[in-house]
Structure 1
Amino acid sequence: MALPPVRRVITGHADDGLAKFQSDAAVQAHERPNGTGISFLYSAPALPIDNQDPKDWAADEAQGKNFAGRPDLFDVPGISCRAIDIPPGAESNMHRTQTFDFVAVIKGSVLLKLDSGEEKTLESGDIVLQKGTNHAWTNPHPTEWARLYVVVTKSLPIR
């Protein structure tokens, strides 16, 4: 059984400057060909983030567009926060992004494979700082889903 949707609560400011809740809703995952689900939680086209910008850039990402309107979900010009749900036994392809990624394993365990052949099993509560390396994710469990929270930020190209 797939994991429940992620609840996304966004805060902001009222006209008088006081803090308020802007939204509180479940974010539906978008299924990839291997069964993995990606929930686009928040994104911004540049850093620093403009906390007064009301646009929900994550809605554009969820429609399969990057900030230039092209279908590129991984390399970002600013920052993007996502939840990634990996079904039992699923594996991603080996890939590299031009980003620095903060990855937290929230549920289950995953195997992180590098193109060098090195592998690490990561458990719930573990954190990975992904520095633009070629990698693949596998959920080795035969029956349980895994969930990752990932914050993707623009980085300089690898030389």
Structure 2
Amino acid sequence: MSSETKTPPAPSASAELKTNLPSTKTLITGHNAEGKAIVHDSRPATWKVFEGGVMGFNQIYTNPFPADLNGDADVRFHDAKMAGGGLGLAVKHGTVCRMVDFAPEYVCMMHRTQSLDFGIVVEGEVDLILDDGSSTRMGRGDIAVQRATMHSWRNPSTTSWARMVFVLQDTKPLFIGGERFGEDYGRGTEGLPRSGNDD
């Protein structure tokens, strides 16, 4: 498998990405009629698969900020957003929590979102590549605080998948030297909706 950036086709739905990593589930808590905490729902990971199965997204949760928990409005928002298929990498006036799996030697496209991102390596190792040419190796438990920079991710392993969990929150527009640095998905991202937060 080549380590060069490839052009991804439109994502396809899949019940499970074919990896050597453990499956996961999402527990959503809530309250019963007496106000006691309960597990409202337990959901298995549902993957959107890219590039024939070498990279995938598990969209864990998304909501406006601040989220409205009354009457399960947040759950309805997330479910409607997912059913509509219009979720980009980030969300306007809100947050996104996403799990991403990378196949061995996979390199994603260089891209930027108008968001403040927390990227946590939970399985394997991942290289953070920036448009200044630098590459920084991250191991399990390492966290990248991504501040609307052009970047790419690379799984350096030749045999094992890597997994990261990302939390993205919308930001105000970023200006450097009078130039606006908005969302840029890079080349080959047909089928991936824009976030719509830098219009």
Instruction: Assess same fold via TM > 0.5.
Output: yes
Using a 3 Å threshold, how does the CA distance of structure 1 residues 145 and 59 change in structure 2: closer, same or farther?
farther
Counterpart mapping for 1:7-156 below 5 A: 7-33=25-51, 35-44=54-63, 46-52=64-70, 53=73, 54-55=75-76, 57=78, 60-61=81-82, 64-66=85-87, 73-77=88-92, 78-156=94-172
Work out whether residues 40 and 62 of structure 1, in 8 Å CA contact, stay in contact via their aligned partners in 2.
no
CA deviation profile, 1:77-110 (whole Å, cap 9, x unmatched): 1001011000101110000000100110000001
SS at match of 1:55: helix
2:68 aligns to what SS in structure 1?
A: coil
Paired residues of 1:40 and 1:59 also in contact (CA < 8 A): no
Take 1:47 and 1:26, find their aligned partners in 2: how far apart are those partners?
25
Q: Which has the larger radius of gyration?
A: 2
> Is the 1:40–1:58 Cα contact (8 Å) retained in structure 2?
no
* Long gaps (5+) in structure 2: 1-17, 176-199
- Cα 1:38–1:14 shift into 2, 3 Å: same
SS in structure 2 at match of 1:130? strand
TM-score by structure 2 length? 0.71
* Residues 113/58 of structure 1: CA separation in 2 closer, same or farther (3 Å cut): farther
Alignment check: 8 A CA contact 1:39 1:84 kept: yes
Identity %: 33
| Cα RMSD, aligned residues only | 1.7
Give 1 or 2: higher strand fraction.
Answer: 1
Q: Residue 49 and residue 16 in structure 1: after superposition, are their counterparts in 2 closer, same or farther (change >3 A)?
A: same
